[in-house]
Amino acid sequence: MSDPVVALVLHDVAPQTWADYQPFVEAVDAMGAIPITWLVVPDFHHGGSLAGADQLRNMLDSRVARGDELVLHGYFHADDMPAPRTPRDWFMRRVYTWEGEFYKLSETQALSRLERGLEVFERYQWPVRGFVAPAWLMSEGTRLALRQLPLSYTSDQQHLYHLPDFSAIDAPGLVWSAGSAWRRGVSKVVCDLRERQWQNAPLIRLGLHPVDMRHGFSRDYWLETLKRLIDSGRRPVTKSAWLDSLSAPTGSSPA
């Protein structure tokens, strides 16, 4: 693929967050045929199981049918391990995030949760090739577990990683911290700067979160940025479609 691309990625997709995302997705759909990568949580915060969310599941079925991608995004999206004991762990698990579910898991623990998540996708006949850890935090045990599963890739904020060997591919991502007005202001300044720095990057990822949708300032930023990147010549793709294009023979197009 020679033309630059943009991937729209919705994090934390669950029954509790669909109401936040729905107006935004409708606005994106009104812009044209823009594929979306949905990061789906099987049981968000231990209280958002997909089993009782018929409306959300039906919507995701329809998105898969139109070419969108579903990615496994943790299982609970909550850090339920014993309390942190070191200053570094306290910062990572109580300041940086409370949702780093896979940050401290052993290989056995991580493999169990990953397999449970894949069983959910299999139950609903959703194809799945990628896993993204909540807050992009993965323990060494998680990395070892991922090498044992039939997944194609994982990612952090600035890279995609082929599995099982974790070979890295530069894939810069824009993301906001939108929980307060000052954080939203700083996020816009930082992302505007990074967008200019990355103008020649083959892929730019837009990493959205439900909290972004609750504030007009951040929601409008994402719509305007998506439109601007597409108007500048970037083609919208899913993450897996872009990875497929990297290994496609010259002159061919991914399905």
Burial class (CB in 10 A: 0-12, 13-18, 19+), 4: middle
pLDDT tens digits, one per residue of 2-14: 699 999 999 999 9
Architecture of domain 5-247: Alpha-Beta Barrel (3.20)
pLDDT tens digits, one per residue of 184-229: 999 999 999 999 999 999 999 999 999 999 999 999 999 999 999 9
pLDDT tens digits, one per residue of 114-126: 999 999 999 999 9
Contact call for residues 203 and 7 (beta carbons, < 8 A): yes
The more confident residue out of 2 and 166 is 166
Provide the terminal-to-terminal Cα distance of the chain, rounded to the nearest Å.
Answer: 12
pLDDT tens digits, one per residue of 43-68: 998 888 999 899 999 999 999 999 99
What whole-number distance in Å separates Cα of residue 86 and Cα of residue 132? 25
169-195 b/e (C-beta count within 10 Å ≥ 16 → b): eebbbbbbebeeeeebeebbeebeebb
User: Does residue 93 surpass a pLDDT of 70?
Assistant: no
User: Does residue 91 surpass a pLDDT of 50?
Assistant: no
Segments making up each domain of the chain, as ranges: 5-247
The whole-number pLDDT of residue 83 equals 65
The whole-number pLDDT of residue 232 equals 96
The whole-number pLDDT of residue 98 equals 62
